[in-house]
Amino acid sequence: MKILVCISNVPDTTTKIRFTDGNSRFDATGVQWVINPWDELSLTRALELKDDPASGVKSVTVAHVGGADSEPTIRKALAIGADDAIRVNGVASDAYFVAGQLAEVVRKESFDLIMCGIESSDFNGSTVGGMIAEFLEIPSVSGVSGLKVEGGKVTLTREIDGGKELVSVPTPLVAIVQKGIAKEPRIASMRGIMTARTKQVKALEPSAIEPLSQVVGFELPKPRAACRFIDPENAGELISLLQNEAKVI
């Protein structure tokens, strides 16, 4: 079994978000770029599966759509333990474009299990995984918080509103993963960092796919009013404010 883990390159989650050029563009000055947190968990689970000989997982490849400036993030994924990487050299203009490119990667290299994080921490679309599956006309399972592979057979735990379901789905499939899929993201070892330098990053030119939407500008939310402090000895006052002033209870 071959696993493809799709990764997105996002600003470190502690980044103070700013825009430039009349709020039309993200201000990347001084920003640290990282693997999208859900994709990092997804990669961790894929590698755990590969470590288990009973899984039948033979290789873990990472794929990314972006310019050459995203190479450090791809190298990080290789240092954590992915076998090789594919970068589609395009601008990730919308989810449809990105998913279309990744679907092409799957068509060319035929993977059995495609893993995507539930969303990226920058665009928060929750869309790329499902789109890849529809482009390829294969099953997708969303909200996956548990993934088992035994002898190439895949069972998934998916979160449903108010519960969980255990499902078995034939390959090839797209697993769209969320919190719970792996406990902690795996960290690159020194040896991993050294060997990552010799691993292959294949660069592909993008296919002709027209985006369906575009971001024309950004706005920062209005700052909230200053916090009103209530004496801890008189906590009851809070309840009356919530009842009579805010009217939320």
Partner 1 sequence: MSVLVYTENRDGKFRKPIYELISYASALAEMMKTSVTAVSIGQVEESELKKLGTYGAGKVITVSGDAFKIFDSQSYTALIAEVASSTGAKVVMLANNTTGKALAPRLSVRLKAGIASGVIGLPVSTEPFTIHKRVYSGSALANVVVNTPVKIITLMQNSFDLHEKPVAASVESYAPKSVTASKSVVLDVQKQEGKVLLSEASVVVSGGRGMKSADNWAPLTELAALLDGATACSRPVSDEGWRPHEEHTGQTGKIIAPDLYIAIGISGATQHIAGVSSSKYIVAINTDKTAPIFESAQYGIVGDAGKVLPKLVEAVKQAKGK
Contacts (CB under 8 A) with partner 1, residues 111-170: 118, 121-131, 133-135, 137, 139-143, 145, 155, 158-170
Query: Cα(33)–Cα(49) distance, rounded to whole angstroms?
Result: 27
Q: Does 177 bind partner 1 (CB under 8 A)?
A: no
Q: Does 107 bind partner 1 (CB under 8 A)?
A: no
3 state DSSP class of 102? helix
Other CB atoms within 10 A of residue 129 CB: 29
* Region near partner 1 per CB under 8 A, out of 77-85, 186-194, 195-203, 240-248: 240-248
Q: Does 208 bind partner 1 (CB under 8 A)?
A: no
Instruction: Specify the DSSP class assigned to residue 54.
Output: G
Are 45 and 147 within 8 A, CB to CB? yes
Q: Does 77 bind partner 1 (CB under 8 A)?
A: no
Q: Does 110 bind partner 1 (CB under 8 A)?
A: no
Q: Does 232 bind partner 1 (CB under 8 A)?
A: yes
Give me the 18-47 binding string for partner 1, x by CB under 8 A, dash otherwise: -x-----------------xx--x------
Residue 18: both structure tokens together: 């700013």
Query: What residues contact residue 192 under an 8 Å CB cut-off, 6+ apart?
Result: 78, 79, 80, 81
Q: Does 238 bind partner 1 (CB under 8 A)?
A: yes
Closest CA to 129 of 156, 110, 102: 102
CB of 232 to partner 1, least distance (A): 3
Q: Give whichever of 174 and 196 is closer to partner 1, judged by the CB atom.
A: 174
